[in-house]
């Protein structure tokens, strides 16, 4: 069943899915959900960038000369 939904490239199938989503959530709720999804993706990408910066900064600290 999930394979059928994932590969639904038929325009009629997309229209049916869209109608079901509108009926379930209402036309006013859908923009709110999309804003929430967008802000969540933005925060996720921001977290990935910060983690990459921490990794790059930490790598330079590890290359201190060894005490003899």
Flag whether 39 is in a domain: yes
pTM, two decimals, is 0.49
Domain assignment present for residue 13? The answer is: yes
Question: CA-CA distance, 61 to 54, in Å (whole number)?
Answer: 11
Nearest residue to 21 (alpha-carbon basis) of 13, 30, 12: 30
5-50 confidence digits (pLDDT tens): 666 678 888 899 889 988 998 888 889 989 999 999 999 999 999 8
Q: Tokens 């109608």 appear where?
A: 19
DSSP 62: T
Domain count, the chain: 1
Q: Is 42 exposed, middle or buried (0-12, 13-18, 19+ CB in 10 A)?
A: exposed
11 within some domain: yes
Domain of residue 11: give its range.
2-46
CA atoms within 13 A on the CB side of 65: 2
In a domain, 54, yes or no: no
């Amino acid at each position: 069943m999930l394979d059928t939904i994932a590969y639904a490239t038929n325009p009629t199938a997309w229209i049916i899915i869209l109608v079901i989503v509108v009926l379930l959530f209402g036309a006013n709720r859908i923009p709110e959900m999309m804003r929430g999804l967008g802000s969540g993706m933005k925060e996720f990408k921001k977290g990935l960038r910060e983690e990459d910066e921490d990794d790059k900064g930490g790598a330079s600290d590890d290359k201190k000369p060894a005490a003899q």
